[in-house]
Structure 1
Amino acid sequence: MRQTNLLVICSDQHNPHIAGFMGNALACTPNLDRLAARGTVFEHAYTPTPICVPARAAMATGDYPFRGGFWDNAHPFCGDQMSWGRRLEEAGYYVAAVGKLHFKDDSSRTFPGQRIPMNVKGGLGDLMTACRMGNGTTPQLRKQIQAAGEGDSDYIHYDREIAREAVRFLKTEAGSLGRPWCLYAGFTTPHYPLKVPEEFMKQYEPYSQFPLAAEWEDPSGLHPALKNYKRKVQMEKEWLSAEEIKRAEAAYYGLTAFLDSQAGAVLDALREAGLEESTRVLYLADHGDSAGEHGLFFKSTMNEGSVGIPMIAAGPDIPAGRREKRCVSLIDVYPTLLQYAGLERTKEEKGLPGISLSDTIAGNGEAERPIFSEYHCAGFSGSEYMLRKGRWKLVRYTGYDQCQLFDLETDPQEDHDLGGLQEFEEVRAELNRELEAVCDPEELDRRSMEDQKRLIEEKGGLKAVLEKGLTPFTAVPEGMGVK
């Protein structure tokens, strides 16, 4: 594949179902829809873990989070492994990384060319995400739902700055570099806070048009692990009203529309600078958000809205108007960018679990490739694992005997859990074998818990961490927020 310039646009916490190019007529995403029309949409793309810091570490390194010890938002990528940003720079690319990265800091050997970067706070991140002990509840996320609506936030201002810097690079720098370049634009929306500029919020009035999930009224059909998660984050009827839930759903749609406008500014600049024909573009997110589905909000779960991500590839040699149905993963970004850059994979890179998106489009590799995801963070006392293969999806929780099983071909909304039915025992057994070929679930749960307990003790102990509480979102760089 011939070498081109590269543009990677990464949003934060974008539910793959809330996009026009995924068939949602209510979602206002005209700019991403246009990108999809001139490229390939991957209809079944997944994050290797539905939480920010480990997902971004996996995207950067092309490997599963557990292999790097990226368990939670307090175990960030610090540059010990090769990243595709560094790899491209070493191969002669000019690399500019604008906006949210969520690595350790801007001085570690993570990504070169960082501009107005957001990395984890103090080089450490949120210790509360490492706390899986205890049986209490936390109000911080529930309060984000109650505060949803029209308004301003640091993230809105920061995303506008990210778009401005990316546009400036494309219009004033990229064309005169004299060598290929890679621009990464990392936006923070539609991650919470759910505060939305007026023009994007009003288009979703009246909020009554947003339905309540059946599990909101009656959560009895949820897996026990999900019921417990719902209780821990105070997503139950005694805490939140139907009106608050519908307003929060509208706000999430509004933030997605805002994100689309900022991505659109970058895509417009690419075209106006005359660089569209010489640049391959990837759009993706670090993970999704349940956004009201199954009576849940936030990330953290293996429900499709949370573990699924939107993904588009467009540009030279990439089929236009194509819908790719084979499953792909965020870890595929690393080998994809190497192929787009015309680079051969090293021996170490050939050992990574991802495959190039172009190889998927070409039909290379397994027709039903297993896709793996993991979660070892607050909200669940044990670990969660997902294994998707073809039409089937297995979700396994340590500490629970019963898994979840879904036939996503006949039940894409995951309304019918087949995990407890005898007639699907053979399917469950096969998927469990595939899962255990990737990792030992019980051993990973033990190892992650040990690392988390060790870190918490080093930072003052469990009581001190719990008293500080959860940080719902990372602070923007100095001077980038509301003035």
Structure 2
Amino acid sequence: MTRPNILILMVDQLNGTLFPDGPAEWLHAPNLKKLAKRSARFRNAYTASPLCAPARASFMSGQLPRRTRVYDNAAEFCSDIPTYAHHLRRAGYQTTLSGKMHFVGPDQMHGFEERLTTDIYPADFGWTPDYRKPGERIDWWYHNMGSVTGAGVAEITNQLEYDDEVAYEACRKLYDLARGHDERPWCLTVSFTHPHDPYVARKKYWDLYEDCAHLHPEVAPIPFDEMDPHSQRLYHASDMANFEITDTDVERSRRAYFANISYIDDKIGEILEVLETTRQEAIIVFVSDHGDMLGERGAWFKMSFFEGSSRVPLMVAAEGVQAGLYEEPVSTLDVLPTVCDLAQIDLSEVMPWTDGISLVPLANGQGREAPVRVEYAAEGSYAPLVSLRRGKYKANFCALDPDQLFDLEADPHEMNNLATEPASAETLATLKAEAEGMWDLAAYDAEVRQSQARRWVVYEALRNGAYFPWDYQPLKKASERYMRNHMDLNVLEEGQRFPRGE
């Protein structure tokens, strides 16, 4: 059996509403537009959780956060949870990661045979929220609006330095794979941190959006007293009261964000060019972990179930997946079974370990019965929130808050909560009963609180005395690189050349 190679391209905090059918026409993203033309494009794809670490653990495992227990950005991703890297490696694949996956805990591999870079975020429990202290801001790591007021141009930043390295290492790996020293099929995951805030971009990309018509949000800021309770909590969590956000701040933030989409497009273009010039074929998956509100409703960043935060781009280019636009709601949980399906892995050995569904049947004309599920239990929440997307409806539930119900066809900006409308009572009751069959919110809340409390104890203990970090340290074997005296120069030069000489 010949299994296909797989290239997974992941970005961070890319708003899915900007990908109605591949990148929006006005975005300067030629490489992603080219990829979109040969991909299945899922317009209504959702994250499993609108925050980095929970979203990524769910993406890799195909399991919701309550099942992975990665509730927030400082919750351990346990080693016994199978990921797509485990399933593929078990089937004979070489599995490699270049870039971010925000693993927390001592296991920094989770099925990857090789990591080419360290992560951009810490791997310990220092970012743990605390439901015992509702409303407390932990200022040194919580988001604040400095990302918006500080938006602008820079030629190098912490994040640009990181993503430059991610792309460089990925290209080097693709060249190495082309040499054919390892006959196994490969899965290379390349995961960038852009266009995640801070909203700072290189001038060459900033200049592309000088006359952009999309620098203002479509929905004006909503007064605090008119916000739903979770939006009010996020307002406080982001310290919005202590920042004066001007129209210029909003324009500059959105412009830099769009510019960083173009920056990422260039990096993806470099990777795809190496794939093409080395004559390697691969399934290509493009996805984001979650979105960014980008000032819509006056909200920024993620952490909510509104479309800008929870909807993500998802494209799959592969034989066996019909290229085109698909409107049916899907989830990043579906990537694992889809990739395994395309890799010809027996799904009976995969499905017990995933909450997702293979998208291959959907992309070949079959319907989808299951709703899309989303969870959130991290900073800015005081109790877990859950969401269901079924058909045109999205329903959000939290033990602390009034129910929410939106008709996304009639109300794409989610301005009209139908939960109190008599005409929608039956729809809400149906979705609420379905949600209650899936989630025990009281038990979920207790689990989150226990996890947080344990981690606060462990973190303080491990910071007292000698400290051994969990952060991944990339291994660079200098004695095995280039030419060394235990190597035959003639064999080396021929073996490292692609294409081979005559």
- Settle same-fold status: TM greater than 0.5: yes
After superposition, the C-alpha distances for 1:243-292 in whole angstroms (9 at most, x for unaligned) are 212211111111111111111211122122212xx311100011111111
Residue number in structure 2 paired with 1:153: 157
Distance change in 2, residues 1:73/1:41 (3 Å): same
Summarize the Cα distance change of 1:364–1:313 in structure 2 as closer, same or farther, 3 Å threshold: same
Residue 174 of structure 2 corresponds to 170
Cα pair 1:145 1:244 within 8 Å, conserved: yes
- Cα distance, 1:297 vs. partner? 0.6
TM-superposition CA deviations, 1:318-375 (whole Å, max 9, x none): 223x0011111111111111111111024463452211111221244534x3111011
CA contact (8 A) 1:386 1:393 kept: yes
Equivalent residues of 2:3, 2:343 under 8 A apart: yes
Partner SS state of residue 117, structure 2: strand
Superposed CA RMSD in Å reads 2.8
Amino acid at match of 2:83: S
Aligned residue among 272, 285, 296 for 1:267:
272
Q: Which residue of 2 aligns with 1:306?
A: 309
1:229 maps onto 2:229 in alignment = no
Aligned residues: 463
Q: In 2 relative to 1, CA 114–140 (structure 1 residues): closer, same or farther, beyond 3 Å?
A: same
Q: Closer, same or farther in 2 for the Cα pair 1:338/1:202, shift >3 Å?
A: same
CA distance in 2, matches of 1:263, 1:140: 28
Asked if 1:257 is matched to 2:262, the reply is yes
Describe the shift of the 1:359–1:20 C-alpha distance in structure 2 as closer, same or farther (beyond 3 A).
closer
Gaps of 5+ in 1: 465-473
- 1:208 to 1:93, Cα distance in 2 relative to 1, 3 A: closer
Whether 1:59 and 2:62 are equivalent positions in the alignment is no
Task: Name the amino acid aligned to 1:285.
Answer: S
| 2:285 paired residue among 282, 287, 302 | 282
CA distance in 2, matches of 1:87, 1:361: 22
For residue 419 of structure 2, give the secondary structure of its aligned residue in structure 1: coil
Q: Which amino acid aligns with 1:378?
A: E
Bigger shift: residues 166-175 or 405-414: 166-175
Instruction: Give 1:467-478 correspondences, 5 Å limit.
Output: none
Q: Greater CA radius of gyration, 1 or 2?
A: 2
Per the alignment, do residues 455 and 345 of structure 1 end up closer, same or farther by CA in structure 2, a change over 3 Å counting?
same
When residues 212 and 477 of structure 1 are mapped into structure 2, their CA distance, relative to the original with a 3 A threshold, is: farther
1:128 is displaced (CA, Å) by: 4.2
User: For 1:333, which of 335, 357, 360 is the aligned residue?
Assistant: 335
Corresponding residue of 1:468: none
Instruction: Give secondary structure in 1 for the equivalent of 2:244.
Output: coil
**1:186 and 2:188 equivalent?**
no
Counterpart amino acid of residue 40 in structure 1: A
User: 1:446 and 1:239 mapped to 2: Cα distance?
Assistant: 37
C-alpha contact (below 8 Å) 1:20/1:30 kept by paired residues: no
Which amino acid in the other structure matches residue 344 of structure 2?
Answer: G
Change (3 A) 1:2 1:437: farther
CA distance in 1, matches of 2:63, 2:36: 26
1:15-47 CA-partner distances (Å, limit 9, x unpaired): 112348446333222211111101110011111
With 341-350 and 415-424 compared, the bigger mean Cα shift is at 341-350
1:467 matched residue in structure 2? none
2: CA distance between counterparts of 1:197 and 1:410? Answer: 38
Separation of aligned partners in 2, 1:206 and 1:259: 20
Q: Which whole-Å CA distance do the structure 2 matches of 1:440 and 1:180 have between them? A: 42
Residue 73 of structure 2 is matched in structure 1 by 73
CA change 1:203–1:272 in 2 (3 A) is: same
| 4+ long deviations beyond 6 Å | 474-479
Q: Over residues 284-326 of structure 1, what are the superposed CA-to-partner deviations in whole Å (9 max), with x where a residue is unaligned? A: 0111111112211111000111111100000322223x00111
Q: Give the conservation status (yes or no) of the 8 Å contact 1:83–1:111.
A: no
Letter in 1 for 2:340: L
Whole-Å Cα distance in 2 between the matches of residues 107 and 266 of structure 1? Answer: 24
In 1, Cα distance between equivalents of 2:170 and 2:222: 44
Rounded Cα–Cα distance in structure 2 between residues aligned with 1:210 and 1:109: 39
Kept in 2: contact 1:288–1:307 (CA 8 A): yes
Aligned partners of 1:476, 1:201: CA distance in 2, in Å? Answer: 33
- Distance (whole Å) between structure 1 residues aligned to residue 367 and residue 395 of structure 2: 22
Take 1:191 and 1:351, find their aligned partners in 2: how far apart are those partners?
30
The answer to whether the 8 Å contact 1:127/1:456 transfers is no
Distance in 2 (alpha carbons) for counterparts of 1:208 and 1:218: 25
In structure 2, do the counterparts of structure 1 residues 387 and 440 end up closer, same or farther at CA, with 3 Å as the change threshold?
A: same
Q: 1:471 maps to what in 2?
A: none
Q: Secondary structure, in 3 states, of the residue corresponding to 1:405? A: strand
**SS in structure 1 opposite 2:196?**
coil
Q: How does 1:276-425 map to 2 (within 5 A)?
A: 278-320=281-323, 322-347=324-349, 349-350=351-352, 352-364=354-366, 366-367=368-369, 369-400=370-401, 402-425=402-425
Q: 1:404 to 1:72 in 2, by over 3 A?
A: same
CA distance in 2, matches of 1:37, 1:348: 30
Deviation at 1:439, TM superposition (A): 1.5
* 1:97 to 2:101 alignment: no
* Aligned sequence identity (%): 28
TM value normalised by structure 2: 0.85
